């Protein structure tokens, strides 16, 4: 975070000339075994749903590149650069500003028609496209299921996540040994954790 400085919050510093960010989503909820069944099976290992398919970085980046090419051909010019979890980009904040959904109590982005089982990608461009209205309302209401279900109690409060206790961080990005006090709480989750999404009522609208 410190290394990238303000490039994360100022797109024109990351890609000079940027005046518009196109924010896009790609649904990823897989078909197959019920997550609760796997979590309850001591002889199985749980892998986060997003990691069960092909490498989303390549898949979505290729699709964004094709979209950028079509826009370039249609407009006869412009500069475009696509990102998929590959640069200092505040993707959820950008998506909320673009109207794709709201940042929920579990810090995930939720779309009222698609839940939260989706990837986000961005195209930075110097073309001044008209902006969509931002999502100004959050529709979590009084629900706190995501905060209460977290196995390691990683939520300090609504909208605040302590990454040092988050199983997704611990099993994917944490560079050292996992704190011994947290290990028993992790169950059979070996790569990521979906608990705060599995209990979210909005994910009844998610598509495979």
| 3 state SS of 38 | helix
- Among the options 27, 43, 55, 85, which is catalytic? 85
Closest listed residue to residue 148, CA positions, set 177, 105, 206:
105
* Residue 137: active-site member: no
Please tell me what DSSP assigns to residue 15.
Answer: S
Q: Indicate if the alpha-carbon torsion angle 134, 148, 114, 59 is positive or negative.
A: positive
C-alpha–C-alpha distance, residues 39 and 103, integer Å: 26
Tell me the Ramachandran region of residue 92: left when phi exceeds 0, alpha when psi lies from -120 to 50, beta otherwise. Answer: alpha
**Which amino acids are annotated catalytic?**
85
């Amino acid at each position: 975070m410190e290394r990238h400085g303000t490039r994360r919050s100022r797109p024109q510093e990351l890609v000079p000339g940027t005046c518009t960010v196109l924010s896009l989503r790609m649904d990823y909820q897989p078909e197959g075994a019920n997550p609760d069944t796997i979590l309850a099976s001591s002889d199985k290992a749980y892998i986060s749903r997003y990691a069960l398919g092909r490498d989303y970085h390549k898949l979505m980046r290729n699709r964004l590149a094709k979209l950028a090419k079509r826009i370039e051909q249609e407009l006869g010019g412009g500069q475009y650069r696509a990102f998929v979890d590959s640069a200092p980009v505040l993707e959820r904040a950008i998506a909320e500003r673009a109207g794709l959904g709201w940042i929920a109590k579990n810090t995930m982005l939720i779309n009222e028609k698609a839940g939260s089982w989706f990837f986000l990608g961005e195209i930075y461009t110097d073309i001044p496209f008209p902006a969509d209205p931002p999502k100004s309302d959050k529709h979590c209401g009084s629900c706190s299921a995501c905060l209460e279900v977290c196995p390691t109690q990683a939520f300090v409060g609504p909208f605040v996540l302590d990454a040092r206790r988050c199983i997704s961080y611990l099993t994917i990005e944490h560079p050292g040994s996992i704190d011994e006090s947290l290990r028993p709480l992790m169950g059979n989750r070996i790569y990521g954790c979906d608990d705060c999404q599995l209990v979210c009522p909005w994910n009844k609208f998610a598509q495979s």
